Structure 1
Amino acid sequence: MIRLLRIQAPGIPLERMPDLLNDFGGDAGELLDELDAELAAQVGRLAGQRESIARLRAAGAAPGLPPELASFLALFAASPSSGLAKFDSEQSVLLAHFAGEDGMSHVARFYEQLGGPDLILAVADISERFSRLGPDSTAQDITELIESFMTTFAPVVA
């Protein structure tokens, strides 16, 4: 019984225990290597999760947001239009999903540029004007917004 408890302590699965009870070295080393690799992967995932939580806390962002974009989105959280902040958050979550892990660093760099002191006010202005568009908007309103959009974002996209 004590041997069973000792074998279970490092996390050895129950189905592997009978083989190990009479094994004094053979498969035990291989099994321990497998368990160690599995635990290292779990520790890595947990460390990544903790890092994500820390970034969300530092930015004061909700858990559903990509941590890499949370600080940028927090800039818009103070916007007078709560609908705008919600729209920006939803669009960012969608963009992060499509970018995936491999593209996230590019998206984060793009958002860092948008959140820079030179652009943040222009981005806020364009977003606010976009949110006011509606059925009564004139063609001139739309054209002016498109021109502002192009002027502001063309250097960032390039």
Structure 2
Amino acid sequence: MRSSELAAIAGVSVRALRHYHQLGILPEPPRSANGYRDYNVHHLVRLLRIVRLAGLGFPLHKLPELLDRPDDDPVSQLDQLDAELAARIDRLTAQRALVARLKQERAAPDLPPEFAPYAALFAAGGLPPRFARLDREQLILLAHLVGDEHLPFIARLYGRLAEPGLLAAATEAAARFAELDDDSGDETLREVADDLISVCASVAEESTGAENPVDLGDAAALLADHSDELLNVAQKRVLALVESRLRTA
């Protein structure tokens, strides 16, 4: 029988047959004189066994030992499979809980869930799309660079910004920062820097006395490189001023 016939009888696609050949779990018969591969009933039986085992949940890379050693202890094999399926169910259950949390917070799925409730608040604050994108991408980058150990600490700082008493000030400062351009004078730049420093000072209270402070190290340079591509000259001047004054303080 041809590959299309074999696949149809077994209820799989011809592409699946080729995949099984590549993995070495289904022998590939030689081509006949007319150039087609001629499969026999033995290929069909092995293919049906593959379909059955894969349907139960056995990984394809483990099928050779099951197919070629059918007399091994089946209970042991099934116990191992059951444990793997239980672990998979636990992972899927955790993923579903995370999806439900993101849906409830109306958060983008690419954001770390720790930031979900706060990012939605800032997005609703009316930031220009370019700066909403900057905020979102910086969060994604920062969360990855600080790692799981420091992520809760960073999330607390970000959550401090989202508190009602500070959110309005932070949003207003961000909006004024977003409006800066080449025509912005030195006085305006200083005023915006003052606003940002005031916000940063409020957030800094959360980090005072932290037992495990975050050392950004190389991460700071990567974050700066990222923002550098999205900011104009005036905005970069303000950030340099803020950084200098905070360092001095």
In the superposition, the TM-score normalised over structure 2's length comes to 0.52
Alignment partner, residue 45 of structure 1: 91
- CA change 1:34–1:106 in 2 (3 A) is farther
Matches within 5 A, 1:48-127: 48-80=94-126, 81-127=128-174
Q: Percent identity?
A: 38
Structure index of larger Rg: 2
- CA change 1:39–1:106 in 2 (3 A) is farther
Larger mean Cα displacement after TM superposition, 117-126 or 70-79:
70-79
- CA change 1:18–1:94 in 2 (3 A) is closer
The answer to whether the 8 Å contact 2:122/2:162 transfers is no
Whether 2:200 is the aligned partner of 1:153: answer: yes
Query: Post-superposition shift, 1:33?
Result: 5.0
The answer to whether the 8 Å contact 1:73/1:85 transfers is no
- How far apart are the structure 2 equivalents of 1:44 and 1:139? 57
Whether 2:190 is the aligned partner of 1:143: answer: yes
Higher helix share: 1
- How far apart are the structure 2 equivalents of 1:139 and 1:60? 39
User: 1:82-111 CA deviation, whole Å, 9 max, x = no partner?
Assistant: 333222222222222222333222222112
**Matched residue pairs, number?**
152
- How far apart are the structure 2 equivalents of 1:24 and 1:97? 44
Letter in 1 for 2:109: P
Larger mean Cα displacement after TM superposition, 125-134 or 97-106:
97-106
Letter in 1 for 2:105: A
- CA change 1:93–1:44 in 2 (3 A) is same
Larger mean Cα displacement after TM superposition, 112-121 or 73-82:
73-82
Structure 2: give runs of 5+ residues left out of the alignment.
Answer: 1-44, 208-249
Alignment partner, residue 66 of structure 2: 17
Letter in 1 for 2:188: D
Query: Post-superposition shift, 1:11?
Result: 3.2
- How far apart are the structure 2 equivalents of 1:47 and 1:100? 23
The answer to whether the 8 Å contact 1:56/1:70 transfers is yes
Query: Post-superposition shift, 1:136?
Result: 1.3
Letter in 2 for 1:42: R
Structure 1: give runs of 5+ residues left out of the alignment.
Answer: none
- What secondary structure does 2:109 align onto? coil
In the superposition, the TM-score normalised over structure 1's length comes to 0.77
- What secondary structure does 1:40 align onto? helix
